[in-house]
Amino acid sequence: MKKGYFITFEGGEACGKSTQINMLKKMIESSPYKDKFVFVRDPGQSPLGEEIRKIILFAKDTPNPITELFLYLASRVELCEKIIKPALNEGKIVISDRFYDSTIAYQGYARNILPIKEVLHLAKMSSIGLTPDLTFYLNLSPVEAFKRKGNSVLDRMELEGETFHLKVKNGYDNIAKKNKKRIINIDASKSPENIFEIITNIIKDKTKINL
């Protein structure tokens, strides 16, 4: 029986979600509410999920798109069953770097391998009934985003072309429009400090925790 609160961060590559999550972690670690929060990442976090993450992002043998879809789903089942569900049942606030909206945007809208309805069904199945209470979508154009990447080493998804990443953005825009109550659409071209203020104010308001 869920008692906690579930927050996810979503967006395309280099949208600034890791920066925001790291700023949040730092703020929470020095607060009295340190033990109330659990940070996770999708794909990954569970031991098996981290193995799957390496395969998805760095395997030499490019997976078939359906294989890719099932690998993301498999990692999420492990994450939900072994980490998120128990934490929510204990009343924790779980913050996840990506969740099933990523599957809908990347495998659904961008890969376009199955009708969105079917990807949505599979994505929900992988979350074993868990739905985020609140999602921050950091909305940034892929052209802007890749300027931020500079010379860093890119994984297999980041190496997809501009058309693919434009489809991801279009996917997220659609998902955000359809889930206005849950998803906060944030202009990610704003400064990190500005975005952080928006995010922390909303978290304080929703969780009633005065960070």
Instruction: List residues binding ligand TMP (CB under 6 A).
Output: 13, 41-43, 72, 97-98, 102-103, 106-107, 157
Output 34 or 66, the one with its CB closest to ligand TMP: 66
Q: How far is the CB of 155 from ligand TMP (least distance, A)?
A: 7
Bin 176: left if φ > 0, else alpha if -120 < ψ < 50, else beta: alpha
Q: Can you say whether the dihedral through the CA atoms of 166, 167, 173, 179 is positive or negative? A: negative
Q: How far is the CB of 59 from ligand TMP (least distance, A)?
A: 13
- In whole angstroms, give the CA distance from residue 163 to residue 11: 16
Q: Can you say whether the dihedral through the CA atoms of 180, 184, 189, 190 is positive or negative? A: positive
Q: How far is the CB of 204 from ligand TMP (least distance, A)?
A: 25
Output 167 or 207, the one with its CB closest to ligand TMP: 167
Output 127 or 207, the one with its CB closest to ligand TMP: 127
Q: How far is the CB of 13 from ligand TMP (least distance, A)?
A: 6
Record the tokens describing residue 63, joined without a space. 């997976």
In which element (H, E) is residue 11 found? strand 5-11
Output 4 or 43, the one with its CB closest to ligand TMP: 43
